[in-house]
């Protein structure tokens, strides 16, 4: 009869580490994922403006932006000129305090020059669409725009805020 000797070696139990969240999907708008990193990016780079006071408000602003951009594209709003995009970028750059290392900040946020120009291009497309749709600036335009955004949110099955 054979005897089988089984030797068990006990290794010190490895400490249990909590998983580190790198990124996650917060919302989808017509198939476009909005990631936690997107919210962080627009807040750190001040791309949404005053609307991005918190992560929740930044998320809502990104949702609204995607809804308006989709509507602008469907309505046939044309591409802005390169000079308009450059002017928008200069306005954004000039708004930062002197000495701000924008290339380092962009790198930290994962934003490329091309991506930033794309953001400004889409800003200009949305503005052109709002001008076509609602005309001149004013309180009436703001009311109509807010009602339109509520309608866009309802059609996209997003919470109306």
- Summarize pLDDT for 125-143 with one digit per residue, the tens: 999 999 999 987 778 889 9
Q: Which of 28, 48, 53, 26 is nearest to 37 (CA)?
A: 26
Does the residue 106 lie in any domain?
A: yes
pLDDT tens digits for 147-159?
999 999 999 999 9
Contacts of 150 (CB under 8 A, 6+ apart): 160
Range of the domain at 62: 25-155
Count up the domains in the chain and report the number: 1
């Amino acid at each position: 009869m054979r005897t089988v000797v089984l030797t068990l070696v006990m290794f010190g139990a490895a400490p249990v580490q909590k998983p580190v969240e790198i990124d996650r999907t917060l919302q989808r708008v017509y198939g476009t994922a909005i990631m936690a990193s997107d919210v962080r990016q627009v807040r750190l780079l001040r791309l949404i403006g005053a609307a991005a006071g918190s992560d929740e408000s930044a998320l809502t602003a990104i949702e609204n932006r995607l809804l308006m951009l989709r509507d602008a594209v469907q309505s046939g709003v044309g591409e802005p000129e390169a000079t308009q995009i450059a002017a928008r970028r200069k306005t954004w750059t000039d708004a930062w305090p002197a000495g701000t290392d924008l290339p380092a900040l962009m790198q930290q946020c994962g934003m490329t020059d091309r991506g930033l120009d794309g953001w400004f291009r889409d800003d200009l497309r949305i503005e052109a669409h709002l001008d076509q749709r609602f005309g001149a600036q004013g309180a009436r335009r703001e009311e109509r725009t807010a009602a339109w955004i509520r309608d866009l949110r309802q059609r996209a099955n997003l919470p109306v805020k």
